[in-house]
Amino acid sequence: MASRRKEQPTQDGRRIETDVLVVGGGPSAAWAALSAAEAGARVVLADKGYHGTSGATAPSNTGTWCVPPGEGRAASVEQRFKRTAGLADRRWMLRSADRAYENLQKLVEWGYPFPTEEDGSLYIANLRGPDYMRFMRQRVQKAGVTILDHHPILELLGDENYVGGAAGLARRNGASFEVSAGAVVLATGGCAFFERILGGTGLTGDGYLFAAEAGAALSGMEFTGKYTLAPHGSSLNKGLPFRWATFYRADGEVLRDAKGEPVTNGIGGGERRVAEAMLSGPVFARLDLAEPAMQDWLRRGQPNCFQPYERMGINPFEELFRIDLKYEGTVRGTGGIRIVTSDCGTGIFGLYAAGDAASRENVTGGISGGGAINASWAISSGWWAGHGAAHHARRRQGRDSTRLQPLGTTGLRGSAEREDVDLAAAARTAHDQIAPLDKSYWRTAETLEASRSTLEDLWSRLNRAPPAAGIERLRSREVASVTASARWTVAAASLRTESRGVHRRHDFPAESDAQANRIIVSGLDRVTAVREDLALETALEG
């Protein structure tokens, strides 16, 4: 299986034959590629952007869920489980913490430049995004992986309930290319729903649409109500400094809670009060609770958080500035492709998912994985998916790939009817049905039904649009992916008639014990949502 990959010309571009294709360019894609290569597979990694700089991790400073072996690991899992709204799985949490720690040790062995503690020991719980992803690209190259930069995948290739490759385009000239593979790992990241957040431009839920077109399902899509505070007009969704903020209305009045106390800690208990106030007018903040030593620590530890203030010419510790709540969708929410095997298989032969492309309910339940849990999940799920894909490819060696059919639909192939669609307007429509505070921070049956109706109409119009050509195919597919992701989100949120985790219903404000189960969504032209019985699933596994 370690023979050289084969490359053949096609009518439009080129055709590559390999064992494992990894779609994506963030940390989970890198770990999947390394894992598959370690297992002896020929690997191709296709990134929509430039591998090492694309995605949400590259511009970030992120912690990890770094728990050394021992009794403390089980205690950490139990402590974390209590905050997962009852939908996580302790077994997955434990194995994810275990695998992530082992791979952090690999980074040490490979020479990653971790910072040191005062006693000289390495501080491996923190990863500075630019350094981390630059290092991972170098490791991927050293492992012999073929990297296709600026080669977005547009659709999967398959036949009879299996996936055997993918097709895409080269952004340089719009030419088509195909990759025939024994297995495919979708590590395409989450969906930011066209919200302007740091590293989120290319995060349009592509992998969700690819998986659904192959017959896979998604889970946890209702848990997309994750927002982060940011300076008004900025794309910076890094909320840590707001732990030391006091909040004010436009007239300078201090924002207060129900007990009359000033609202503080905007990424904790104060967030909901800030969100409520924003519905009636602008809200301002000042980081006036940070002592000088803390101010210095924040500036050194989160330098990119302060660039917007520097551009505005203000001192956020002394001056008021307007704030927004930026919608983060499934980037720091939870939903994604449903995982059905321990090696991150999707239930479709040859198709695996990792990182934010996969549902993180197994490790985060119904709440956000934030930075640390999601970062460790990217490491562990990428590793498992890469190994799983490599072993699957080995079993499929010699299988004829000439019967592979393109699986892409909306955004690539329309119906017999033809209706011109303004893609920019379509993108705004999809965004506006899912990102506003009164549609995703709080939900009601009325607002969900209104969004559903608008999104269904948009989906129908996208299906009637004439096929795009050249590089325009990418934008057409991105709009289709975001629209599909919004439809799945609305379907799951409508079925969950309670408030749980980051899913908040104004008309059902309480958590219901009877709904402590997951919601599975699937379908393209007709979306279905069903409840998954976790108790039955556990009994069957046992």
CATH number at residue 380: 3.50.50.60
Q: Are residues 309 and 347 in the same domain?
A: no
Q: Give me the pLDDT at residue 264, please.
A: 85
Phi-psi region of 460 (alpha: psi -120 to 50; beta: other; left: phi over 0): alpha
User: Closest Cα to residue 200, out of 332, 329, 55?
Assistant: 55
Residue 373 CA: distances (Å) to CA of 35, 365, 525: 20, 11, 34
Residue 99 CA: distances (Å) to CA of 178, 242, 323, 442, 489: 33, 32, 38, 36, 30
Q: Give me the pLDDT at residue 398, please.
A: 63
Does 448 fall in a domain?
yes
Q: Are residues 200 and 344 in the same domain?
A: yes
Other CB atoms within a 10 A radius of the CB of residue 535 amount to 9
DSSP classification of residue 254: B
> Which residues, other chains included, contact 46 with Cβ-Cβ below 8 Å and sequence gap of 6+?
21, 22, 23, 24, 148, 151, 152, 153, 166, 168, 179
Q: What is the token pair recorded at 68?
A: 């050394």
Per the DSSP assignment, residues forming a β-bridge with 156 are: 166
DSSP classification of residue 439: I
Q: Are residues 168 and 25 in the same domain?
A: yes
Q: Please give the residue range of the domain that contains residue 141.
A: 17-224+330-406
> Which residues, other chains included, contact 469 with Cβ-Cβ below 8 Å and sequence gap of 6+?
174
Q: Give me the pLDDT at residue 38, please.
A: 97
Does 101 fall in a domain?
yes
Q: Are residues 161 and 254 in the same domain?
A: no
Does 415 fall in a domain?
no
Q: Give me the pLDDT at residue 18, please.
A: 96
Q: Give me the pLDDT at residue 11, please.
A: 42
Q: Are residues 181 and 58 in the same domain?
A: yes
- Indicate the number of domains in the chain: 3
- Distance of alpha carbon 387 from alpha carbon 306, whole angstroms: 40
Q: Are residues 116 and 200 in the same domain?
A: yes
Q: Give me the pLDDT at residue 309, please.
A: 87
Residue 462 CA: distances (Å) to CA of 233, 409, 515, 525: 30, 10, 34, 11
Torsion of CA 80, 83, 84, 86, to 10 degrees: 110
Identify the domain boundary among 360, 376, 406: 406
Does 411 fall in a domain?
no
Q: Give me the pLDDT at residue 399, please.
A: 65
Q: Give me the pLDDT at residue 370, please.
A: 79
Identify the domain boundary among 406, 434, 452: 406
Q: Are residues 62 and 202 in the same domain?
A: yes
Q: Give me the pLDDT at residue 402, please.
A: 63
**What CATH number is associated with residue 466?**
1.20.58.100
Does 214 fall in a domain?
yes
- Distance of alpha carbon 26 from alpha carbon 57, whole angstroms: 7
Q: Are residues 390 and 434 in the same domain?
A: no
Q: Are residues 214 and 361 in the same domain?
A: yes
Three-state DSSP at 531 gives strand
Q: Are residues 207 and 83 in the same domain?
A: yes
Identify the domain boundary among 406, 434, 467: 406
- Distance of alpha carbon 330 from alpha carbon 351, whole angstroms: 20
> Which residues, other chains included, contact 465 with Cβ-Cβ below 8 Å and sequence gap of 6+?
411, 414, 418, 419, 420, 421, 476
Amino acid at 293: A
pLDDT along the chain (542 residues), means of 10: 49 81 97 98 97 89 86 90 94 95 95 86 87 96 97 94 95 94 97 91 96 97 93 84 92 90 82 92 94 88 80 92 94 95 97 97 92 92 98 82 86 78 96 96 97 97 91 96 98 97 96 95 96 53 34
Q: Give me the pLDDT at residue 539, please.
A: 33
Does 495 fall in a domain?
yes
Does 378 fall in a domain?
yes
Q: Are residues 204 and 291 in the same domain?
A: no
Residue 189 CA: distances (Å) to CA of 109, 273, 353: 27, 30, 10
Q: Which residue has the tokens 């009994």?
A: 539
Residue 286 half-sphere exposure, CB side, CA atoms within 13 Å?
17
Does 2 fall in a domain?
no
- Distance of alpha carbon 456 from alpha carbon 448, whole angstroms: 12
Report phi then psi at 104, rounded to 5. Answer: -65, -35
Q: Are residues 317 and 339 in the same domain?
A: no
**What CATH number is associated with residue 319?**
3.90.700.10
